[in-house]
Structure 1
Amino acid sequence: MVNPIEIILIPTIMIIIGYALKRNNVLNAKDSTTLSKIVINISLPSLIFVNLSSAHINSNMAILPVASFAVSMVCMLLAYLFSRSRGYSKIKTWTLMIAAAMMNSGFIGFPITLGVFGNEGFLNAIFYDLATTVLFIMFGMILVGEFGGDKKDVVKNGLKFVPLWAVILGLLFNFSHIEMGYVLKNVFTYLGNSTTPLIMLSLGLTIDFREIKHYLKDSLLISLLRLVVSPLLMFGILSAIHLTGLAFNVAVLEAGMSTAMNALVLSITYNLDNKLMSSCIFTDVLLSLVTLTAIITFVV
């Protein structure tokens, strides 16, 4: 069996390579936007589609997005109570609530789950991540009401989310027993295989050590919720309903992921505290290298 530290070292080294490329002016921070667009619109949907279209789907998978949503709501409530106790502004409170609720079960969770559990585990992760898509649309609708904006744009952007359509089409091909054929299957496979390196290089390009110290206390609170409380909550929920096996292991691992990149998209769109959100994401990613190693040791 591969050592959990070795599993985490693979994406970590790729993140460091991305950071090194930025430091040596080979790429710059803005290039992360381009890489992210390729991942969201091409490589990740290809990875989802090619795996989901020929997968064996079981009933346990349907439980995962519900459990994921429940854990997110509890973490959001805890962040709200913390913010109220500190007397934070409405903007800062919503920033922390979203950072606590939205986990990176896709952008980071997919490649790590794929590395730990292979394609079968990745299928469970796809279902788990459906909750994050729902949260993205839900928070968009709520923030429009709180801070202004066009609700039609929120729905339109949600419907244009390509990974969601990859899930829908993958399920359609699966249930209808539609074969892609040799050429299409290999095209999607090659594109999907680029997902992990592109994600990690993109993360390396976004690292900025200068901002983190100004928001450390709040960022550490979010890290505690996302990286420790969340997987413990997931463990408790799934144990209570007697869910075991691969679905259980994947859910606990996915629950320990850092704050989602889409949380920053919401923050920017609705003029929340963007520097605080970026600090939360960055702190989470760094600390998750330690916490995910511990979780992998437990679930493998």
Structure 2
Amino acid sequence: MTNFILIAVCILSGILVKRYKALPEDSFKAVNAWLINIALPAVALKYLPQMEWTGKLLLPLLMPFLVWIGAYLCIRILDRFYRLSKQNKAVLLLTAGLGNTSFLGFPLTQAYFGDKGLPIAVFYDQVTFIIISTLAIFTAVKASNGGTFHPRTTLRKIFTFPPFIAFILAFVLPPFISFDPVRPVLDALAVTLVPLALFSVGMQLPLKDWKTDRGLIVFALSYKLVLIPLLLFAGCLFFSLKGLTAQVSVFEAAMAPMVTGAIIAIDHNLNPPLANKILGIGILVSFFTTFLWSLVLPVIG
């Protein structure tokens, strides 16, 4: 219960700060900078060295790609009937194809599955980041006017991204050095992730004009919150893939659209209002849908 109260308080605090302009409009960027450069690397270094490597980790490795590919195929089918603009297709892919696997995924995974689920969520999130840094950027550049794609720049972004560096170090260093001397520091830094991430989400929720583009919003959220996790859940049942890894992987796949995906769409001027609405409504609705998934997932426990 404490975790759910924390989620509600932190998100509501962010909403109220935005509503009453208690902080400058772009203050969430400073919060995000702490999360990306300090808190997320600390979480990776705290949990990943303790992870037990098994074949089951193929699930959190493959599922983010399946979510992205499924979104691409569904958008192609929708386009055959409604002839979407290239901007709207890109927005749908950048929102429906990417989950909020860290800022929301970590606290919700911790709330429903405890600390044991966090290493799996961290692993899933790093794979999602690889998709963001490659396929997502490519999608946004291609859909924007006059954009060019630079593979070298993309690779540099990947290998200089602090959580990704921490992700690599968490696997490379443990055989040679012990993390025990710095574990108290990592614990103190990692604990800031959940409240600040939720506070940041609250500060970025759009507060008005949610009624336009209903069809596209319903399509994106129906896919992201219901259809794709249902298909992945059915796949786990069919192939008898069970246990905590399967549960957390499907749960992460059921997360709301990712903040970063919407930001990429907005930065490339790909229908920013639609991106914001899918993001904001998706985050709010996902609290209900992830609760429902938490009731279903014990079937593959």
Q: TM-score, normalised by structure 1?
A: 0.90
| AA of the residue aligned to 1:75 | A
**Residue equivalent to 1:246:** 244
Summarize deviations over 1:84-143 as a string: whole Å, max 9, x none: 421221111111122111111122111211222222211111222233122212221344
Q: Which runs of 5+ in 1 are unaligned?
A: none
Q: Is the 8 A contact 1:207 1:282 kept in 2?
A: yes
Q: Paired residues, what number?
A: 294
Summarize deviations over 1:209-239 as a string: whole Å, max 9, x none: 2132223331121111111012101102222
Shift of 1:21: 2.2
Shift of 1:274: 1.5
Summarize deviations over 1:58-103 as a string: whole Å, max 9, x none: 2212332213311331122112322342122111111112211111
Q: Within 5 Å, which residues of 2 pair with 1:104-119? A: 104-119=100-115
- Aligned pair in 2 of structure 1 residues 217, 79: CA closer, same or farther (>3 Å)? same
Answering whether residue 93 of structure 2 is matched by residue 97 of structure 1, we say: yes
Summarize deviations over 1:26-63 as a string: whole Å, max 9, x none: 22431111111111111111011111123333221233
Q: Within 5 Å, which residues of 2 pair with 1:159-178? A: 159-174=159-174, 176=175, 178=177
**Residue equivalent to 1:40:** 36
Q: Within 5 Å, which residues of 2 pair with 1:30-69? A: 30-69=26-65
Q: TM-score, normalised by structure 2?
A: 0.90
Shift of 1:150: 4.5
**Residue equivalent to 1:149:** 148
**Residue equivalent to 2:76:** 80
Q: Is the 8 A contact 2:91 2:262 kept in 1?
A: no
Summarize deviations over 1:160-212 as a string: whole Å, max 9, x none: 222111111111134x1520233x21111111100000011111111222132
- Cα separation, 2, equivalents of 1:200 and 1:171: 28
**Residue equivalent to 1:14:** 10
- Cα separation, 1, equivalents of 2:220 and 2:136: 18
Q: Which runs of 5+ in 2 are unaligned?
A: none
- Cα separation, 2, equivalents of 1:12 and 1:40: 22
Aligned residue for 1:53, secondary structure, equals helix
- Cα separation, 1, equivalents of 2:236 and 2:255: 17
**Identical amino acids, percent of aligned pairs:** 23
- Cα separation, 2, equivalents of 1:71 and 1:150: 23
**Residue equivalent to 1:190:** 188
- Cα separation, 2, equivalents of 1:90 and 1:25: 35
- Aligned pair in 2 of structure 1 residues 209, 11: CA closer, same or farther (>3 Å)? same
Summarize deviations over 1:145-165 as a string: whole Å, max 9, x none: 454134133332222222111
Answering whether residue 230 of structure 2 is matched by residue 232 of structure 1, we say: yes
Q: Is the 8 A contact 2:59 2:249 kept in 1?
A: no
Q: Within 5 Å, which residues of 2 pair with 1:176-215? A: 176=175, 178-182=177-181, 184-215=182-213
- Cα separation, 2, equivalents of 1:63 and 1:210: 38
Of 283, 286, 295, the match for 1:285: 283
- Cα separation, 2, equivalents of 1:292 and 1:9: 16
- Aligned pair in 2 of structure 1 residues 131, 84: CA closer, same or farther (>3 Å)? farther
- Cα separation, 2, equivalents of 1:143 and 1:75: 15
